[in-house]
Amino acid sequence: MPPDIEIIVGTYEEYLLGYQLTASPEDTTSAKLQLKQTFADKSHAGSIKSVAVQGPWVASGGSDDRIFVYDMRTRKQSQILLSHAGTVNTLQFSPDLTHLLSGSADGHMIATRVGSWTTEGDWKKAHAGQSVTHISCHPSSKLALSLGGDLVLNTWNLVKGRVAYKTNLKSKTTLGSQPDCLSWSTQGDHFTLSGPLYLEIWDIKNAHVVRRSKMPAKPICVAWLDGNECLAGLENGSIAWISLKDEEEAPPTIIPAHEARVKAMAYLNESLATVSSAGEIKAWRIDLEKRELEEIASTNMDCRPTGLGLLDLSQFGNARPLEQRIKVESKAKAKAEPGQSSKPAAPRGFVTIEYEQDEKQEAEEESATIPKSKPKQKKKEAKKAPQQEPEESSEESNSSDGDSESFSDSDSDASDDGGRRKRRPPKRKQPPTPSSKRKVKQQKNK
């Protein structure tokens, strides 16, 4: 019977894909299985950088600063988190499924409550304002480790929501300038860190390295099988098997796996899944006693992977779809205005732009429905006109009216005034004022 797992893979091409193991219809006698695509979604507007799977939840973080959460009970998108303002480099669900921890290039480390999806913790300068690159949550859900651009390993007390202690890794020459492969063991007694050619296993009790193994190639990813057995995917496509039961100087067991580098790997229910940078996915059956890997299925997804996680299908019972293929629907993109770039704007900026446009449209509609405001303005201009020469003032007022009408709405044209504007010429001959009559009498008397 095929293992009850679904392989979830994030890609550079913005796809989130799912593959399940099924029996091969061509050869029913053989134990060989096949990987069939059973899930696909393209919601991100940039490359997917991180994937987290725990319980029924799947989360993906991308270079578009967004986190998409999927409920695999319905196999649909459940939530969009807009809490970061930079690429989401790392995602990790707490084992007790209470929080989703996320780290971003904006320097924030955020704890989001699962279910309500509200932000319950936001450490704005988790690594002195530098990018948060790795997060790993302890099996007890009370501790977490994080790595950042400041080359400091933070140990977090998740109960109190603060850093318990810090470890400066700048002096660790074996880890290089970019430590990687941060991962807790299944029992929580050890965790791993890697450098260009070394994989280190640290003991949580004394915070010291208990095993330093030299590798034939750079370690890229890590998967713990139990409290003592650890697998590391290498850049040359091989898998290194490290065991704490061996002597300290014992070399790791090297197992060929892929032709290209092992980009990501995960272990669940006695099954291992690996994916290479060329897009080749393989499922393995593990023999812990002999330290051997048996390939049971493989496929090529024609995409470049960025992360991998395993979904436990046994929690869904018989309700899970085995043969269902979900089509990727291209979502309509918002039309960019002239002068604006096609790059998706931040959510808050997008809302602000829409609000200003709506406000302008409402103002234009109000001006179109209330044409009485312009005649008042023109009456004021007509009162000012007698102060100037009569003939010239009439021409100037007409020209100014024409200019103002060119910027007004079509609803406020002269044709809608019922011919009222044609009655203005008689205003040129105004009756003589008393002061003018007195001046005329004085001139005659002289």
Asked if 84 contacts 106 with a C-beta cutoff of 8 angstroms, the reply is: yes
AA identity, residue 165: Y
- Mean confidence (pLDDT) of the chain: 80
Would you state the pLDDT for residue 207? Answer: 81
Instruction: Place 365 in a pLDDT band, splitting at 50, 70 and 90.
Output: very low
Reported as a single tens digit per residue, the pLDDT across 55-113 is: 999 999 999 999 999 999 999 999 999 999 999 999 999 999 999 999 999 999 999 99
Residue 218: which residues within 8 A CB-CB, separation 6 or more?
194, 196, 197, 234, 235
Reported as a single tens digit per residue, the pLDDT across 199-256 is: 999 999 888 899 999 999 999 999 999 999 999 999 999 999 999 999 988 999 999 9
Residue 126 structure tokens: 């988790």
Reported as a single tens digit per residue, the pLDDT across 177-190 is: 999 999 999 999 99
Residue 323, pLDDT > 60, answer no
Would you state the pLDDT for residue 23? Answer: 87
Residue 382, pLDDT > 50, answer no
Q: Which is higher by pLDDT, 438 or 376?
A: 438
Instruction: Place 321 in a pLDDT band, splitting at 50, 70 and 90.
Output: low
Q: Which is higher by pLDDT, 391 or 16?
A: 16
**For the chain, how many residues are written?**
446
Asked if 225 contacts 267 with a C-beta cutoff of 8 angstroms, the reply is: yes
Print the SS3 string covering the chain. Answer: CCCCEEEEEEECCCCEEEEEEEECCCCCCCCCEEEEEEEEECCCCCCEEEEEEECCEEEEEECCCCEEEEECCCCEEEEEECCCCCCEEEEEECCCCCEEEEEECCCCEEEEECCCCCEEEEECCCCCCCCEEEEEECCCCCEEEEEECCCEEEEEECCCCEEEEEEECCCCHHHCCCCEEEEECCCCCEEEEECCCEEEEEECCCCEEEEEEECCCCEEEEEECCCCEEEEEECCCEEEEEECCCCCCCCCEEEECCCCCEEEEEEECCEEEEEECCCEEEEEEEECCCCEEEEEEEEECCCCEEEEEEEEHHHHHHHCCCCCCCCCCCCCCCCCCCCCCCCCCCHHHHHHHHHHHHHHHHHHHHHHHCCCHHHHHHHHHHHHHHHCCHHHHHHHHHHHHHHHHHCCCHHHCHHHHCCHHHHCHHHHCCCCCHHHHHHHHHHHHC
Asked if 59 contacts 77 with a C-beta cutoff of 8 angstroms, the reply is: no
Would you state the pLDDT for residue 31? Answer: 63
Reported as a single tens digit per residue, the pLDDT across 41-54 is: 999 999 999 999 99
Residue 296: which residues within 8 A CB-CB, separation 6 or more?
21, 31, 32, 33, 283, 284, 285
- For the chain, give every residue range classified as CATH 2.40.10.480: 173-256
Q: Which is higher by pLDDT, 300 or 357?
A: 300
Asked if 34 contacts 24 with a C-beta cutoff of 8 angstroms, the reply is: yes
Mean pLDDT along residues 319-340? 45
**Does the 173-256 domain belong in CATH 2.40.10.480?**
yes
Q: Pairing mode, if any, of strands 305-312 and 208-214?
A: unpaired
Residue 431, pLDDT > 80, answer no
Reported as a single tens digit per residue, the pLDDT across 145-154 is: 999 999 999 9
Reported as a single tens digit per residue, the pLDDT across 263-304 is: 999 999 899 999 999 999 999 999 998 999 999 999 999 999
Residue 355, pLDDT > 60, answer no
Neighbouring C-beta atoms of residue 131, cutoff 10 Å: 20
AA identity, residue 432: P
Asked if 205 contacts 226 with a C-beta cutoff of 8 angstroms, the reply is: no
Would you state the pLDDT for residue 251? Answer: 93
Instruction: Place 345 in a pLDDT band, splitting at 50, 70 and 90.
Output: very low
Give whole-number Cα distances, 213 to 180, 231, 255, 388, in Å: 14, 12, 15, 97
What whole-number percentage of the chain has pLDDT above 70?
Answer: 70
CA–CA separation, 138 and 149 (whole Å): 22
Instruction: Place 446 in a pLDDT band, splitting at 50, 70 and 90.
Output: low
Would you state the pLDDT for residue 24? Answer: 77
Would you state the pLDDT for residue 374? Answer: 43
∠ Cα 264 144 221 (to 5°):
15
Instruction: Place 319 in a pLDDT band, splitting at 50, 70 and 90.
Output: low
Mean pLDDT along residues 106-134? 96
Residue 191, pLDDT > 50, answer yes
Question: Which residues face 77 on adjacent strands?
Answer: 70
- For the chain, give every residue range classified as CATH 2.130.10.10: 1-171
1-171 is classed in which CATH architecture? 7 Propeller (2.130)
Reported as a single tens digit per residue, the pLDDT across 386-427 is: 444 434 433 333 433 444 333 333 343 444 444 444 445 544
- The four Cα atoms 206, 212, 217, 221 give a dihedral, to 10 degrees, of -30
